[in-house]
Amino acid sequence: MPETSLPVAQPRIAARQRLHFGVTTAIAILAGVLVVVALLVYYGFDGVGAQIAAVGWQNILLIAAIQAVVLAITGLAWWLLMRRPASTLPAVMGARLIREAGSELLPFSAFGGYLMSARALAVQHIWGPRAMASLIVDVTLEVATQILFAVVALALLAWYDLRSPIIGPVAVGLAVACAAVAATYAFQRRKIGFFERIGKPMAGNLFGRQFGRGLGVQHHVNGIYEAPWRVQACFLLHFACWIASAAEIWLMLQFMGQNIDFAPVLVIEGLSAAVCGAAFFVPNAIGIQEGAFVALGAVFGLDPESALALSLLKRARDLAVGVPSLLLWQGLEAHGLWRRLTAPFRAPAPSPMPAAAVRATNRSRDRLFATPDRF
């Protein structure tokens, strides 16, 4: 095959890959929706609707406000890894909200949310190798704390009912997840040059020229891990936010009139989050979350109607937080586009004096004032 045909074949391969991904995503979404509809038909729309109506939209907005604060705290955890000025903290918190909205509302996996948060920082000129490294480490620590949260939930489930058939499969899954996180950490520390190779192809389309200069991502990843207090603070903040997410579920149940202790709620939230995380290839975990809530709720005497209502209320909370976050993302993109379009009509900013010229000027000034007066 002549070499000139290779550039033509590459776009075709990319187009087939995008088509395959789109078809797979559509099938996964359709299957998840059918599972949710089947559960609602089987257990009855009226019972589930009555549980949701008992909460009321005011309480849903209250829980959404709490969730926004929790996500802002996770943004603080991410910002701690960046070593950026305090003035960038609101932008990083906003990018964290956008990451969650992209993962929960749009037909993407969690990776789509990661790229959206990176893009949100890029259009605000905060992106670069250090920010990319902080995103990698932040996601790793978030997954590690989610596994720890699931381990705590599994221990509580074993204390509550040691003979539960759920314990064995979940324990095996968590052991595999722990090994995967440990391997990821070792890979990040030792695979020198990996991030540079994967970063260059992504730079042109997603992050602009700022990440195109990001040939030091590996250096910054190592630098973050060499600052233990930042890593520990990020880890503790993420774990506290997982506990707060269980508190939100407990609050929803209280609004529904379900008097359940906090420990069973922590088990339901911790293990359902682990199941949804394992099914990352299903957009928004549609159907997976509902099935997990019904199965885990049954262990603690929660009726299926209340479990389904709880899952739908959680999605309503994500919708109330995610829609403004997506609007923020579109506003940032529109502002960046406007600046690019109007750049030729704006007066160019005066270029700063190069550092070498500043040093030469300072040396000349020092010699001038150090010379004795000869006149």
How confident is the model at residue 17, as a pLDDT?
A: 62
Nearest one of 280, 322, 297 to 143, comparing CA atoms: 280
The token duo for 358 is 């500043």
- pLDDT means over runs of 10, the chain (375 residues): 49 63 74 84 85 90 96 96 88 94 79 86 83 90 95 93 86 93 85 53 48 63 90 96 96 91 94 85 82 90 91 93 92 84 69 57 54 44
pLDDT of residue 347: 61
Provide the H-helix boundaries in the chain.
6-43, 45-55, 57-82, 89-104, 110-122, 129-160, 167-190, 194-202, 208-212, 217-225, 228-255, 262-278, 288-299, 304-342, 355-370
What are the boundaries of each domain within the chain? 17-338
Output the CA angle 286-292-295, nearest 5 degrees: 140
Question: What confidence score (pLDDT) does residue 350 get?
Answer: 59
> Distance (Å, rounded) from C-alpha 78 to C-alpha 141?
10
- pTM of the predicted model as reported, rounded to 2 decimal places: 0.81
> What pLDDT shows up at residue 40?
85
3-class DSSP assignment, residue 364: helix
* Six-digit token string for 332: 């940032």
- pLDDT at residue 353 in the model: 54
**What is the structure's pLDDT at 341?**
80
Q: Taking the alpha carbons of 102, 106, 109, 115 in that order, is the dihedral positive or negative?
A: negative
Q: What is the distance between the terminal CA atoms of the chain, rounded to a whole angstrom? A: 83
What is the rounded distance in angstroms from the CA atom of residue 284 to the CA atom of residue 276? 8
DSSP states of 249-316 = HHHHHHHTT----HHHHHHHHHHHHHHHHHTTTSGGGTTHHHHHHHHHHHHTT--HHHHHHHHHHHHH
Distance of CA 198 to the CA centre of its chain: 20
Residue 178, SS3 per DSSP: helix
pLDDT score, position 348: 63
Q: Is 164 exposed, middle or buried (0-12, 13-18, 19+ CB in 10 A)?
A: middle
